[in-house]
Structure 1
Amino acid sequence: MHVHRAARRSGAPRVTLLTEGTYPHSHGGVSVWCDQLVTGMPDVDFDVLAVTGSGREPLAWDLPPHVSRVLSVPMWGPAPEGRPPRGRAGRQLADAYEKFLTALLDPGAEAGFGPALYALAHAAGDGRLSPFLRSDAAISVLTSVWRRPGIAVREAGPTVHDALTATALLEHALRPLSA
């Protein structure tokens, strides 16, 4: 759900408020705090980036006029459309994904995490990451990393089913990068 509410005011400071499963889609502790923050700062324009379950959650709060935009990023809604990149772009994305996975699984490679995550975020912003993560290429990259000597998960002998499950979960977990 993408709601444009009002034009940004010229010269007003702008803040992006990132929430997860709370404001402006549900009531409760954190949502109350967010509402107090937003309503208590009428001189600031707010964009609200709300990580949600399905993306179909209704707004639960009346938003003040200085909330310019609400963007819901569904973690478990339908997969974003698109085709996996091919050619050079596909190889570059596969390389970034390999570095990301390696950084997650090999403590000696953790320095590569940030650059790899930024590359994945760039691909997500262009709509390429989610389709890539639903491709055979992503499964191949993951199984290749899992089979490397020195990677602890190798000893567990993960199956193709494990790779499919892990990749599906990663695709959902990385969806907010597209916002």
Structure 2
Amino acid sequence: MNEDVQFILDSAKEGMVDAIKHLEKEFMKIRAGKANPAMLSSVMVDYYGSDTPLSQVANINTPDGRTISVQPWEKNMLQPIQTAITNANLGFNPMNNGDFVIINVPPLTEERRIQLTKQAKAEAEDAKVGVRNARQDANKEIRDLDVSEDLQKNAEVDVQELTNIYSKKIDVFLEAKEAEIMKV
């Protein structure tokens, strides 16, 4: 196979892998009723005038399946952390006991589970769009190459096979996430 075609295929595959990695990160943010430190990954704390990720100013643990404890490295950060978690609009009600910020993760209602499933489907569709965009870019680059028509057709078939593989992976991730969300 032509070197240029192989490079285009590798680039397309890399774009598709990136779409899956992004999907995995987004799925980590969707809670499934079980406490997980990744639920707080989007929380930014005002740390001496600059927005800093929560994980860089505190230790985040899950002592059990329904509780997240946040232990700041500096005691004076308790109130800003509690405020940041509240302002992040994650649906949590953090409590401050003087040493830790404690978050009780409420069990999900059926309505909320359906809502989270819809959110997961939307994220999966975004990932599929990323995969299709990688396919589209690769096909365009292949058509722009100065190679035989047979080689172009074969390369486009290879790109489509990659697209099918990564679309199926996204579907598998989505099924697993939906099962996790709907499990009571």
Normalising TM by the smaller chain, what interval? under 0.3
More helix by share: 2
TM-score, scaled relative to structure 2: 0.27
TM-score, scaled relative to structure 1: 0.27
Higher CA-based Rg: 2
